[in-house]
Structure 1
Amino acid sequence: MAGHRARRVVGAAPVVGAVVLSLLLAGCADGGDDRSEEPADAASRAASAASSLASEASDVLASATAEAGRRIEEITEGIDVRDDVRLGTPRTDGDGRVAVEVTARNTTGSAKSFVVQIHFTDPDGNLRDTVVVTVPDVPAGRSGRATARSTYGLSEDVRAKVARAVRY
């Protein structure tokens, strides 16, 4: 879509992948022979690492959500217009990322722009990613479109919902 600017907020998956990779490399790089280690000890270490990894992923997603909120709050003269924004059906693109069309309806008498925060959730409603997209310069009484795209690959069974929308 020509003319739109997307502000992306980093999701948790890239960090999770990096942490998993570093844990695997650390386990392989010590050069020691772990055959003497008890299976219970190895399982305990793996469980501890998995718990730490899940905590880090949760922290990264919370940070990304907070950053998206801060970007929207920077608009000082904006009006909440969540009811004027509609989303298409989420679809997975060739990169495995989820994209959804955002349509913002301008009900005012002059051109306005919109900033929309989209939450991508799993079927249980758990937040998987969040992005912010701008729909600029929508003429009075018309609708403008943009595409919100997840920051990383998500499963195909993802829902999209408007978390916040501001017209300015």
Structure 2
Amino acid sequence: MTGRVGRRTAVAVLTAVLAVGASGCGDGGGTASDTASKAASAAASVGSRAADALASATAEARRRLDSIRGGVDAKDDVKLGATGTDDRGRGTVTVTAHNTTDTEKSFAVQVDFRGSGGNLRDVVVVTVRDVPAGRSGTATARSTHKLSGTVKAEVGTAVRY
């Protein structure tokens, strides 16, 4: 990870800080440092959960790609369309894989969703199945959660098998 925090995480941290601050204001029992400590703890918890989710998605993508036997690097044969958003706010992108061999092949493609600053926001693997020899096939990669702000997609790894 690059150490940057995405907009969604920043909003969650701010919400946690405000909630902790508001809970400390009305009872007269907390000091400013108690409130700050609680806010820092809440912010760390939110940031930790976001980092854990990204680490989990990255590990799952790596596991799926590593499980492919007899695959070859096909990154140059894969192109992505424009990044969009589905009706649930998840990032989407069309993945097109061109089969340059003389037999039917499938492709496993890791798609990295990145924020405007280049920070990694999500990682998914999509399969483009049974692409005929000399032809192209498509699939849609969809992020595992809502991605706010400007998001772009990049091919992380592509394997033809």
Name the TM-score class by shorter chain: 0.7 to 0.9
Structure-1-length-normalised TM-score: 0.78
Counterpart selection for 1:99 from 84, 89, 92: 92
Counterpart selection for 1:139 from 127, 132, 139: 132
Higher relative contact order (CA 8 A, sep 6+): 1
Unaligned runs of 5+ residues in structure 2 are 1-7
Aligned to 1:115: 108
Indicate whether 1:77 and 2:64 are aligned: no
Name whichever of 77-86 and 148-157 sits farther off. Answer: 148-157
CA distance in 2, matches of 1:93, 1:135: 20
Aligned to 2:34: 41
CA distance in 1, matches of 2:128, 2:153: 17
CA distance in 2, matches of 1:41, 1:84: 56
Aligned to 1:124: 117
Indicate whether 1:89 and 2:82 are aligned: yes
CA distance in 1, matches of 2:149, 2:83: 9
Unaligned runs of 5+ residues in structure 1 are 1-12
Name whichever of 66-75 and 47-56 sits farther off. Answer: 47-56
After the TM superposition, list the runs of 4 or more consecutive aligned residues in structure 1 that deviate by more than 3 angstroms: none
CA distance in 2, matches of 1:34, 1:163: 51
Report the secondary structure of 2:157's partner residue. Answer: strand
C-alpha change, 1:140 and 1:161, in structure 2 (3 Å) is same
The residue type equivalent to 1:35 in the other structure is G
Structure-2-length-normalised TM-score: 0.82
Deviation at 1:95, TM superposition (A): 1.4
Q: RMSD of aligned C-alpha atoms?
A: 2.4
CA distance in 2, matches of 1:143, 1:102: 10
Deviation at 1:35, TM superposition (A): 2.1
Q: How many residues align?
A: 146
Identical-residue share of aligned pairs (%)? 57
* 1:61-120 deviation per Cα after TM superposition (whole angstroms, max 9, x unaligned): 112101111111100110010110000000112211111000000000000000101000
Deviation at 1:43, TM superposition (A): 1.6
Contact 1:91 1:156 in 2 (8 A): no
